[in-house]
Amino acid sequence: MDKKYRFSIWYFLLAFWLLIMLQELYFASKHLDEVPYSQFKSWVLEGKVAEVAISDTKINGKLKTETEGAEPHWFQTVRVEDPDLVRLLEENDVEFAGVIVSTLWKDVASWVIPILIFAALWFWILRRVSQGAGGGFMRVGQSKAKIYMEKDIPVRMTDVAGVEEAKEEIWEVVEFLQRPEKFTSIGGRIPKGVLLVGPPGTGKTLLARAIAGEAGVPFFSISGSEFVEMFVGVGAARVRDLFENAKGKAPCIIFIDELDALGKARGMGPMAHEEREQTLNQLLVEMDGFDPRVGVIILAATNRPEILDPALLRAGRFDRHVLVDRPDRPGREAILVLHAKNIKLDPDVKLDKIAAMTPGMVGADLANVINEAALLAVRHDRDTVRQADLEEAVERVVAGLEKKSRVLSQAERERVAHHEVGHALVAMSIPGSDPVQKISIIPRGIAALGYTMQLPTEDRFLLTRSELENKIAVLLGGRMAEVLIFGEASTGAADDLQKATNIAKRMVKDYGMSEKLGRVALEMTPQPAFLKPNEIAGDGNYSEQTAREIDQEVKQLIQNQEVRVKELLTTLKPALLGGAKRLLDQEVMTGTELQALLKEQKGEQVSSPT
Q: Return the closest-CA partner of residue 63 out of 94, 98, 19.
A: 94
256 binds ligand ADP, rule: CB under 6 A: no
- Residue 238 touching ligand ADP (CB under 6 A): no
> Residue 48, exposed/middle/buried by CB under 10 A (0-12, 13-18, 19+)?
middle
Whether 420 is a known active-site residue: answer yes
Distance between CA atoms of residues 146 and 319, nearest Å: 26
Residue nearest to Zn ion (CB): 478
User: Please, which residue, 366 or 453, has the CB nearer to Zn ion?
Assistant: 453
AA identity, residue 518: G
What is the distance between the alpha carbons of residues 428 and 432, in angstroms, rounded to a whole number? 9
169 binds, options Mg ion, Zn ion, ligand ADP, none, Cβ within 5 to 8 A by partner type: none
Q: Of residues 214, 277, 286, 420, which has the active-site annotation?
A: 420
Q: Which does 367 bind (CB under 5 to 8 A by kind): Zn ion, ligand ADP, Mg ion, none?
A: ligand ADP
If one asks whether residue 354 binds ligand ADP (CB under 6 A), the answer comes out as no
Interface with ligand ADP (CB under 6 A), residue total 17
Comparison of 73 and 204: residue with beta carbon closer to ligand ADP: 204
From the list 360, 311, 289, the residue with the least C-alpha distance to 331 is: 360
Site for ligand ADP in 320-349 (CB under 6 A): 335, 338
Name which of 403 and 532 has its Cβ closer to Zn ion. 532
Peptide bond connecting 456 to the previous residue in cis, omega within 30 degrees of 0: no
Residue 205 binds to ligand ADP (criterion: CB under 6 A): yes
Cα–Cα distance, 343 to 70 (Å, whole number): 77
Question: Hey, which residues between 518 and 537 contact ligand ADP (CB under 6 A)?
Answer: none
Among 60, 102, 202, 205, interactor with Mg ion by CB under 5 A:
205
Contact call for residue 422 and Zn ion (CB under 5 A): no
Instruction: Compute CA 291 distance to the chain's CA centroid, rounded to the nearest angstrom.
Output: 30
How far apart CA 444 and CA 446 sit, in angstroms, is: 6
Q: Reduced to 3 states, what is the DSSP secondary structure of residue 123?
A: helix
Taking CB under 5 A as the criterion, the residue among 260, 496, 523, 587 binding Zn ion is 496
SS3 520: coil
454-493 binders of Zn ion (CB under 5 A): 478
Q: Choose among Zn ion, Mg ion, ligand ADP, none what residue 373 binds, the Cβ cut-off being 5 to 8 Å by kind.
A: none
DSSP 69: T
HSE-CB of 408 using CA atoms within 13 angstroms: 23
Cβ distance 417 to 583 under 8 Å? yes
Task: Give which of ligand ADP, Mg ion, Zn ion, none residue 163 binds (C-beta under 5 to 8 Å, depending on kind).
Answer: ligand ADP
Distance CA 423, CA 450 (A): 11
163 binds ligand ADP (CB under 6 A): yes
Our finding on whether 443 is near ligand ADP (CB under 6 A) is no
Residues within the interface to ligand ADP (CB under 6 A): 160-163, 200-206, 301, 335, 338, 363-364, 367
Residue numbers annotated as active site: 420
Residues within the interface to Mg ion (CB under 5 A): 205
